[in-house]
Amino acid sequence: MNPTIDRYSLAKANSWLKGNYDDQTKAAIKEMIENNPQEVVESFYRDLEFGTGGLRGIMGVGSNRMNKYTVGAATQGFANYLKINFPDLHPVKVALAYDSRNNSAYFAQITADVFSANGIKVFLFDALRPVPELSFAIRYYQCQGGIVITASHNPKEYNGYKAYWDDGGQLISPHDKNVITEVEKITDISEVKFERNSKLVQLIGEETDQAYLQQVKNLSLSPEAINRQKDFKIVYSSLHGTGITLVPRALAMFGFEQVTVVEEQAIPDGNFPTIKSPNPEESAALAMAIEKAKSIHADLVMATDPDADRVGIAIRKGEDFILLNGNQAASLLIYYLLTKWKENGKLTGNEFVVKTIVTSELLARIADKFHVQHFDVLTGFKYIADIIKRFEGVKTFIGGGEESYGYLVGDFVRDKDAVVSCSMIAEMAAWAADKGIGLYDLLLDMYVEYGLYKESLTSVVRKGKSGAEEIQEMMTKFRATPPDMLGGSKVVLIKDYQTSRTHHLITGKVESIDLPASNVLQFITADGGKVSVRPSGTEPKIKFYFGVVAPLSDKSKYAEVEQSLSRKIEQYIKDLGV
């Protein structure tokens, strides 16, 4: 026994050596045990679990890695659960899509094999497609579930597996936990059925694309403005991902005639050769697109992540470009939607918008001003989808978003949708241009009206088993000794979503939180500041979300007020010892 490998991890590795796994897998495990004991621990110390984004991990050998067997077991467990829940349906149906990552097509084939072997009909996309189209396809083909193979914006060594229910939204409680239970019941890989039934696998493609794109086009609120601004110049990059399949088509359908694609990043490639990270939250990911925009004097830059559910945007400020963060883009989008719904006479008092608890409070302020109901949900777009489902046929969903660059307009998709977002952001820009202003001026106008809200995110990365333990210790410490002051303002409210309690520190009053339990803490200050502390459900990190606000009396004072708010956030970080 190698003393550097804990007993559980070694036992798990040995069970794979004795099990019905292929020779290549067993050889890799033996090599790890002999030469890389730490990798044995990282690969076997746990089984991959469903987090806010489903199954996600580094590709490789082991129970904590993405490979044929972990994907197969997850699919077998999901198949068992679907058949339990829909016993009278023959066959149960699922939709299946995949992105441009290395092994995505392979994992999609494995998934189709296992589903069909279990008598489940599979609608498999004939090539890579965006996540939102998978959500749409579930509803379009009246499926009971769906899967998309993707690791979203994670580094190239990752892949993942997002599971969906019959409403087109990702699995939520109790389904997510129940699927895990079914997976855990599989004690031997021989219980996984890998033999494909080809009669139950149907390829889908262009028909689905056209149906989806027509729904996207139907969202348009300012077709006349686009017609007048059809030469508005846009630069788009798919960052080597799936967005290239639909975003340019959607923009063309909206009426935009001057869309320039960053050709160097238009080729799907899981190695992401032109970027360090395919994450549109990071400025480096948009650098090539911004240079292209400068060279052709464009006014808007958009880039989507590999599975095209999130979009990063850059807008013109004079001769340069500035990046909008997710809170700014979401706020502008909601501001535009509600303004146009009101102008078009579509507001009846029965509409609503949704944001996550870590997203800017500016969205709530805007909704209040328009007398539109807003809902707060836990982090993860599946909770926004759940609210849409809850009020389906009762209230009308206008739009929603989260700070991590994911937005949705309309309800025909039940996940964040970068194809829709690119189309509506472009329309918003054309609408502003038609009024003689750019998006930067529109942003400042919004701040003057509602207050200057500034948000920031700090992540502390702690990898592996020891990192997970350290992150949990940090949460325990914050619960035991919460901050008294932040940025010179007293903490007056603590929201603990794990205990579902809100503590009013001035009055001592305690209220319940009507949301599922989640390991999140929020500290709210007397001057409207907000700090959210949350371990990531998909990455080895703990996230600190900061939000502060101050009045903006005039656009000319923007830089001064913004710098003041930046200093306040810096003080928050010091006060928390992050």
**Could you tell me the CA-to-CA distances from 383 to 130, 170, 513, 516, 539 in Å, in that order?**
20, 9, 15, 10, 19
Do residues 114 and 83 make contact, with C-beta atoms less than 8 angstroms apart? no
Tell me which residue of 74, 75, 91 sits closest to 83, measured CA to CA. Answer: 91
Do residues 133 and 212 make contact, with C-beta atoms less than 8 angstroms apart? yes
- Residue 295: count of CB within 10 angstroms of its CB: 10
Tell me which residue of 283, 453, 273, 491 sits closest to 362, measured CA to CA. Answer: 453
Do residues 300 and 315 make contact, with C-beta atoms less than 8 angstroms apart? yes
Q: What residue has token string 């079914």?
A: 182
Peptide bond into 174 cis (omega under 30): yes
Do residues 160 and 79 make contact, with C-beta atoms less than 8 angstroms apart? no
| E-strand stretches of 77-157 | 93-98, 121-125, 145-149
Contacts for 245 with CB less than 8 Å, ≥ 6 apart:
127, 128, 129, 130, 209, 308
**Could you tell me the CA-to-CA distances from 94 to 75, 230, 309, 345 in Å, in that order?**
11, 39, 20, 39
Record the tokens describing residue 1, joined without a space. Answer: 């026994």
What letter would DSSP give residue 200? G
Q: Is 173 a catalytic residue?
A: no
The span from the CA of 357 to the CA of 514, in Å, is: 12
Which of 135, 152, 237, 518 is catalytic? The answer is 152
Sign of torsion, CA 104 265 277 213? negative
Pairing of strands 145-149, 158-165: antiparallel
Phi-psi region of 380 (alpha: psi -120 to 50; beta: other; left: phi over 0): left
Which residues belong to the active site? 152
